[in-house]
A = this chain, B = another copy of it.
């Protein structure tokens, strides 16, 4: 069975949905949590903001769609009063956790998404990320500091570069053996692809 790369961005609403359910639906398919930043990828497309802000009809639809999907899947949701929020600090912490295979990585990722899209907290603020780590029983201040070291910042830049090399243009995306799947709606299909492989 092939593993599945889960490419997510903390500013992305639909990434929240996938992070919330991926371990339940993966059912044995190994999941690799791959944080990256959409900003540099959107900048390549000529966007300096979320397309949900640039295109208002699309944005109105997205918030309503999230509301319906979260209600249906019983995932807590509150429309963020600021959008998008910077996912840089949280993504750096995730890169650090990824580099040292920390078992708390998925719990941290889910907690940050919940903070952004259910609790309306400012996840761009390092103090908020620290308090999330603390609440998981981790040394928040120390981890946030380590995450801002130059070599770890470089890890996040390399992750975003790896995403671009795979053809990722939005989040969430899933990659299985060279095949790209875009969007929370494609998670089941990506998992089926992983199961059908060698």
A contact residues vs B (CB 8 Å cutoff): 45, 55, 57-58, 60-61, 64-65, 68, 72, 167-170, 179-183, 185-186, 189
Closest partner residue, chain B, to A184 (CB atom) = B185
Residue of B nearest to A45 (CB): B55
A172 vs chain B, min Cβ distance (A): 13
Q: Are B185 and A57 in contact (CB under 8 A)?
A: no
Query: What separation, in Å, do the CA atoms of A84 and B64 have in the docked complex?
Result: 29
- Residue ID in chain B nearest A192 by CB atoms: B72
In Å, the complex CA distance between A68 and B188 comes to 13
- Please name all residues of chain B whose beta carbon is closer than 8 Å to the beta carbon of A167 when the two chains form the complex: 57, 60-61
A57-B167, A57-B168, A58-B169 given. 14 additional CB < 8 A pairs? Answer: A45-B55, A45-B57, A55-B169, A57-B169, A60-B167, A61-B167, A61-B169, A64-B179, A64-B180, A65-B182, A65-B186, A68-B179, A68-B189, A72-B189
User: Inside 8 A of A57's CB, which chain B residues have their CB?
Assistant: 45, 167-169
Instruction: Name which residue of chain B comes closest to A60, CB basis.
Output: B167
A179: chain B residues within 8 A (beta carbon): 64, 68
A113 to B148 CA separation, bound complex (whole angstroms): 52
CA distance A65 to B170 in the complex (A): 14
B residues in contact with A55, CB < 8 Å: 45, 169
- Once the chains are docked, how many angstroms separate the CA of A173 from the CA of B88? 34
